Amino acid sequence: MIAKQEPKSFGEVFALLSRLYREEGAVNFLKLCFTLGKTPTPAGRWWMWSSILTVAAFLFVMYQLVFVGHSSFNTSSDGVNWGMAISTYVFFALISSGLTMIASLAMVFGFKQFYPVAKRCIFLAIITLASGFAVLALELGHPFRMLWAMPTGMQVMSPMFWMGVFYSIDLVLLFIKFYLLWQEDWDSPLSKFVGAASFVAVILASGMLGLVFGSMVMRPMWYGPFTSIYFMLTAALCGAAAIVVTTYMAYGFDRRNMGPHLRELAEGADLPKVFATLIGITLVMFLTRFWVGLWSNLDGMDGFHALVRTPLFHVELWLGLVVPFVMMLSPGMQTKMSHQMTAAFLVLGAMFINRYEFIIGGQLVPMFKGMWAASLLPYEPSATEWALTVMGIGMSLALYALGEKLFHLSAVPPTLLETEDRPAYA
């Protein structure tokens, strides 16, 4: 379906698509769109199955929302107000922010060894943010109303207002940056400026997302400036894990398919070092947060005692953070592909649990419900909420496969590399 060379402008894209359409006829054209090419490829299969998953989950959620409404969620006014949909949104939004931070290592801070993953990072940042927004839109009561009510309301006191502003700016800048990289513009002043601006935007956006929770003095499990820092730094960890997983995926889990620069990055000690440092920072923050939570007698902190008793907490801590930390630290394991992959997968799983535990856990103590509510609120996501999460994950996976097929995501600046560095995957 796709020419050997990536089309270089929207004109070329449309020309290519319409030529295909004319040559193949409507039915075959649709079939091609579905399988991404005449010969089956891993990316094509990946795209097909994850699209099916996404569409199925989406249809289920829409059916529930149309016929049952948001009462198909297990959230409640007397219980947990923000459920798994919000934690899924936070999970995706922070992966996106983290990916932009990793891309900035090369594009803003000049660590050239990270160039080979920069374009993939930017693409992934766009699609994870889009997935997060899609989940959020289906959680909100009136998502479209936001479009006029936010600009006309201008409630500058609201952390959520600023979160919306900064994430929108972030998304626009990511699109511009990706367009520039598509045009192979790596280091014009404009490209440099957009890179720097999107780094600033992403720090503000992830920090502001932290403040949505951190400003809430009436929710002591969230309260404090620490929450903002916690979100930024764990975002970086998520970004690192996501890029390790997807880069190996792109090369069919075989380093021999990689170009020399990427291989150097994958085989060297820099990547695991960055990764281990980020896991280490997260562990320290995680443990200090729980220490304060368990130690303090403050009203409203009781949720921490409940959290440490759940198996999820221990899966997250030991399997999701400690094991990968040891793997990425030990010289014998840190450069092996299988260990890097395992560590990255475990960290992503741990961070999904982390967002869930953070959002739900912070609401476990009821707000003045007296004996009408349990002293700790029960909550379990409903089928609709699970479907929404599956939809978000499916959407990211599908768009990723599409991007891998359509764009040259492993591109590096021409100054860095003469040889072709195209993944075997696409």
Q: Is 424 in the site for other proteins (CB under 8 A)?
A: no
Q: How far apart are CA 74 and CA 68, in angstroms?
A: 12
Quick one: which segment of 7-15, 37-45, 74-82, 386-394 binds other proteins (CB under 8 A)?
74-82
- Residue of 102, 125, 360, 365 interacting with other proteins (CB under 8 A): 365
Q: How far apart are CA 324 and CA 170, in angstroms?
A: 30
- Measured from the CB atom, the residue of 83 and 403 that comes closer to other proteins is 83
Least distance in Å: CB of 299 to other proteins? 4
Q: Is 161 in the site for other proteins (CB under 8 A)?
A: yes
Residues 6-65 that bind other proteins (CB under 8 A): none
Residues 268-307 that bind other proteins (CB under 8 A): 299-300, 302, 305-306
Q: Is 257 in the site for other proteins (CB under 8 A)?
A: no
Quick one: which segment of 172-180, 211-219, 228-236, 332-340 binds other proteins (CB under 8 A)?
211-219
Q: Decide if 246 contacts 124 (C-beta within 8 A).
A: yes
Q: How far apart are CA 110 and CA 107, in angstroms?
A: 6
Burial, 173: exposed, middle or buried (Cβ in 10 Å; 0-12, 13-18, 19+)? buried
Helix crossing, 84-107 with 226-250: angle to 10°? 70
Residue appearing with tokens 């103590």? 365
- Measured from the CB atom, the residue of 140 and 269 that comes closer to other proteins is 140
Residue appearing with tokens 């003469």? 418
- Residue of 25, 40, 153, 268 interacting with other proteins (CB under 8 A): 153
Q: Decide if 421 contacts 262 (C-beta within 8 A).
A: yes
- Measured from the CB atom, the residue of 300 and 413 that comes closer to other proteins is 300
Q: Which of 92, 107, 98, 90 has its CA nearest to residue 236?
A: 98
Q: Is 170 in the site for other proteins (CB under 8 A)?
A: no
Q: Is 74 in the site for other proteins (CB under 8 A)?
A: yes
Q: Is 78 in the site for other proteins (CB under 8 A)?
A: yes
Distance of CA 54 to the CA centre of its chain: 16
Q: Is 143 in the site for other proteins (CB under 8 A)?
A: yes
Least distance in Å: CB of 80 to other proteins? 10
Q: Which of 223, 213, 211 has its CA nearest to residue 87?
A: 213
- Measured from the CB atom, the residue of 40 and 69 that comes closer to other proteins is 69
Terminal Cα-to-Cα distance of the chain (whole angstroms): 11
What is the token pair recorded at 307? Answer: 């959290």
Least distance in Å: CB of 285 to other proteins? 22
**DSSP structure class, residue 315:** I
What is the token pair recorded at 352? Answer: 């999904």
Least distance in Å: CB of 171 to other proteins? 17
Task: Count the residues of the shown chain that bind other proteins, applying the rule CB under 8 A.
Answer: 52
Beta strand spans in 90-181 (E): none
What is the token pair recorded at 18? Answer: 């319409």
- Measured from the CB atom, the residue of 4 and 372 that comes closer to other proteins is 372
Residue appearing with tokens 């007296």? 370
Please report, as ranges, the residues that interact with other proteins according to CB under 8 A: 69-71, 73-78, 81-82, 140-143, 145-146, 149-150, 152-155, 157-161, 164, 212, 215-219, 299-300, 302, 305-306, 363, 365-373, 375-376
